[in-house]
C-alpha cells in the first residue's frame, strides 16, 4: 500500500477540518471579524511565542500501535509508520487601489511525509525537517494585477515511540523553529505569515494495527496512559489509519451523509452554511467570490442548490430501526406495548403507568444503554410527536408487550 493510498480514507474529513478556519460561512474581506481568520491549529514561530506569549510554537499528536510478538516477532521490523503533517501557509494577495480585497490572505496547502519503521522509532527518535520557502509571484486576472507574497517557515517533525507490552505509544511532535530577525512583528498578521496554520497529523500503519486511545484494546491500557497529545486530538479512522486534528471529532470521524459538496463544513452544520450563503446580498456574494477561490466555490455551490437538495441537509432523527427482546417477544418500531414505569424519574411516570403505547424507535446511547421510545395511543398529540421525532423514553424493563400485537 502506498502512502497516498494509505491516507485516502481520511483526506476528505482532513480537508473539511483544514479549511474551516479559512472560509467558513464564507469569509469576506470587507468584514472586520473575517480579517481575524487563522485562529485554528496555529503553530507560531518560536521567537514570537517567547516574546509575546502568543500561540504555542509546537503541538503533538499521540497514536497507539500494536507490536507483533511471539511467532510474529520478525514482523515488528516490517511494521512501517507513514506519517503526514499538513498545514496551511498564509499567502498575502496584494492588489493596487482601494478595493477591499487589495490586501488579503489566501492559503497554500503544505505537507511533509515521513515513512519510518516502527522498530526504528522505538529505538531512537526520528527527526525530519519541515517548512516552506518564501514566495513572491506576480500575475493578472479578471480583477487586474496582483502580487502573492508568502513568508518562509522552518521547523521539524519528531517521531518517537515507547513500548509497553504488545502496544506502543507513538508521539509525533511538530515544531515551528522559524527565527524572526530583530524585534518580532507587533501585529498578529506578521506572526501568522510565519506560522503553520490548521496543523494536523495523519498516521497510517502498514503491516501493523492501530488502537483507540479513547477505548484502549485489551492489554493497551499502560501504553495508552503514556499518551500526551498537545493541542491535537486523535480519532481512529480504522485499524490502520488515524487522524489527529485541533478539535475533538467522533471516532471514527466522518462527513455528514447528506453533504452535497466541498463546503469545508461537512463535519457540522452544512444546512446553516447554505442558508447563510443564501442570505448574502448579490454584492456580498460577489465580494466573497473575489476574496478567496475556496469561498467562490462555496457561494457557487449553494447558489446552485435547489430546494430538494437543501431539504436533504435538514437534520432528521434516526428512525430507530433497532430492536430489543422483552419477555421473549421482539420489540421494534411499531410494536404495541403497555407502560410499566418503575424508576420514578418524575411525576409523569405515575401518569403513564398502565397506558397503552406504540413504539416509535429503539435506540442505544453511547454508554450502551437501550432506550425504547413510545407515543401514548390515546394522546391526541401522538401524531405530532411522531412527526417531530419525539416521544417518551423507557428502559426495556419498563414496558410489557401486548400479546398478539407485533410490528
291-319 pLDDT, tens digit each: 778 888 888 888 888 777 777 776 666 66
Say if residue 76's pLDDT is above 60: no
What cell was used for 125? 527518535
Give yes or no: residues 332 and 219 share one domain. no
Q: Residue 183's pLDDT band (boundaries 50, 70, 90)?
A: low
Write the CATH number for 352.
2.30.30
The predicted structure's pLDDT at residue 182: 61
Rounded Cα gap, residues 117 and 205, in angstroms: 10
Is 259 within the bounds of a domain? no
In a domain, 301, yes or no: no
Could you say which DSSP state residue 43 is in? B
Confidence of residue 107 (pLDDT cuts 50, 70, 90): confident
pLDDT higher than threshold 70 for residue 404: no
Which of 253, 278, 308 is the C-terminal boundary of a domain?
253
Q: What does the mean pLDDT of the chain come to?
A: 83
Predicted pLDDT of residue 276: 81
User: Is residue 273 domain-resident?
Assistant: no
Task: Give the residue with greater pLDDT, 50 vs 166.
Answer: 166
Which residues 6+ apart lie within 8 Å of 338 measured at CB? 354, 355, 356, 357, 399, 400, 401, 402
- The stretch 24-45 carries a mean pLDDT of 77
Q: Pick from 330, 272, 326: which is nearest to 298 by CA?
A: 272
Give the three cell numbers for residue 40: 485554528
Are residues 73 and 80 in contact, defined by beta-carbon separation less than 8 angstroms?
Answer: no
For residue 316, say if its preceding peptide bond is cis, omega within 30 degrees of 0.
no
Do 86 and 202 share a structural domain? yes
**211/121 same-domain check:** yes
Q: Is residue 308 part of a domain?
A: no
Please state, in angstroms and rounded to a whole number, the distance separating the CA atoms of residues 375 and 80. Answer: 54
In a domain, 38, yes or no: yes
Query: Is residue 188 situated within a structural domain?
Result: yes
What does the block give as the cell for 192? 501568522
Please classify residue 73 by burial: count the beta carbons closer than 10 Å to its beta carbon, then call 0-12 exposed, 13-18 middle and 19+ buried: exposed
Domain span including residue 72: 3-253
Question: Is residue 146 a part of any domain in this protein?
Answer: yes
Other C-beta atoms closer than 10 Å to the C-beta of 137 total 11
* CA 73 to each of CA 67, 76, 77: distance values in angstroms, whole numbers, following the listed order: 8, 6, 8
Same domain, 234 and 358: no
Match 397506558 to its residue by C-alpha cell: 355
Q: How would you classify the pairing of strands 323-326 and 241-245?
A: unpaired
CA-CA-CA-CA torsion sign (115, 120, 121, 125): negative
Is position 353 within any domain? Answer: yes
Domain final residue pick, 202, 235, 253: 253
Indicate if the pLDDT at residue 363 is higher than 50. Answer: yes
Does 327 share its domain with 245? no
Q: Identify the pLDDT of residue 394.
A: 92
Specify the pLDDT at position 3.
Answer: 46
pLDDT(357) > 70: yes
Which region among 17-26, 206-215, 339-348 has the lowest average model confidence (pLDDT)?
Answer: 17-26
- The domain tally of the chain equals 2
Amino acid at each position: 500500500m502506498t502512502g497516498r493510498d494509505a491516507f485516502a480514507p481520511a483526506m476528505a474529513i482532513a480537508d473539511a477540518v483544514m479549511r474551516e478556519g479559512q472560509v467558513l460561512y464564507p469569509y469576506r474581506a470587507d468584514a472586520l471579524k473575517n480579517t481575524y481568520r487563522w485562529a485554528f491549529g496555529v503553530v507560531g514561530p518560536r521567537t514570537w511565542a517567547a516574546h509575546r506569549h502568543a500561540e504555542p510554537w509546537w503541538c503533538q499528536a499521540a497514536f497507539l500501535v500494536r507490536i507483533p510478538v511471539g511467532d510474529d516477532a520478525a514482523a515488528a521490523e516490517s511494521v512501517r509508520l507513514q506519517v503526514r503533517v499538513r498545514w496551511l501557509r498564509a499567502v498575502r494577495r496584494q492588489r493596487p487601489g482601494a478595493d477591499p480585497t487589495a490586501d488579503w490572505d489566501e492559503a497554500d496547502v503544505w505537507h511533509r511525509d515521513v515513512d519510518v519503521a516502527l522498530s526504528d522509532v522505538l529505538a531512537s527518535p526520528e527527526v525530519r525537517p519541515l517548512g516552506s520557502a518564501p514566495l513572491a509571484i506576480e500575475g493578472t486576472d479578471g480583477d487586474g494585477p496582483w502580487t502573492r507574497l508568502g513568508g518562509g517557515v522552518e521547523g521539524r517533525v519528531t517521531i518517537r515511540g515507547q513500548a509497553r507490552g504488545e502496544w506502543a505509544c507513538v508521539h509525533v511532535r511538530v515544531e515551528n523553529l522559524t527565527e524572526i530577525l530583530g524585534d518580532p512583528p507587533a501585529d498578529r498578521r506578521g506572526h501568522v505569515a510565519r506560522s503553520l496554520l490548521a496543523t494536523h497529523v495523519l498516521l497510517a500503519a502498514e503491516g501493523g494495527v492501530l488502537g483507540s486511545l479513547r477505548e484502549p484494546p485489551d492489554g493497551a491500557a499502560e501504553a495508552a496512559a503514556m499518551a500526551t497529545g498537545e493541542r491535537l486530538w486523535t480519532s481512529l479512522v480504522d485499524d490502520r489509519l488515524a487522524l489527529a486534528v485541533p478539535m475533538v471529532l467522533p471516532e471514527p470521524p466522518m462527513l455528514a451523509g447528506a453533504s452535497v459538496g466541498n463546503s469545508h463544513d461537512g463535519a457540522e452544520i452544512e444546512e446553516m452554511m447554505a442558508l447563510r450563503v443564501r442570505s448574502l446580498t448579490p454584492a456580498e456574494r460577489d465580494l466573497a467570490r473575489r476574496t478567496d477561490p475556496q469561498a467562490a466555490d462555496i457561494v457557487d455551490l449553494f447558489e446552485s442548490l435547489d430546494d430538494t437538495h437543501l431539504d436533504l441537509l435538514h437534520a432528521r432523527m434516526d428512525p430507530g430501526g433497532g430492536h430489543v427482546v422483552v419477555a421473549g417477544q421482539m420489540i421494534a418500531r411499531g410494536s404495541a406495548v403497555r407502560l410499566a414505569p418503575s424508576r420514578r424519574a418524575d411525576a409523569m411516570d405515575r401518569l403513564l403507568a398502565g397506558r397503552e403505547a406504540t413504539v416509535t424507535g429503539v435506540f442505544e446511547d453511547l454508554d450502551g444503554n437501550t432506550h425504547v421510545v413510545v407515543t401514548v395511543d390515546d394522546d391526541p398529540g401522538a401524531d405530532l410527536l411522531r412527526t417531530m421525532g419525539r416521544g417518551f423514553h423507557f428502559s426495556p424493563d419498563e414496558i410489557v408487550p401486548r400479546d398478539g400485537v407485533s410490528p
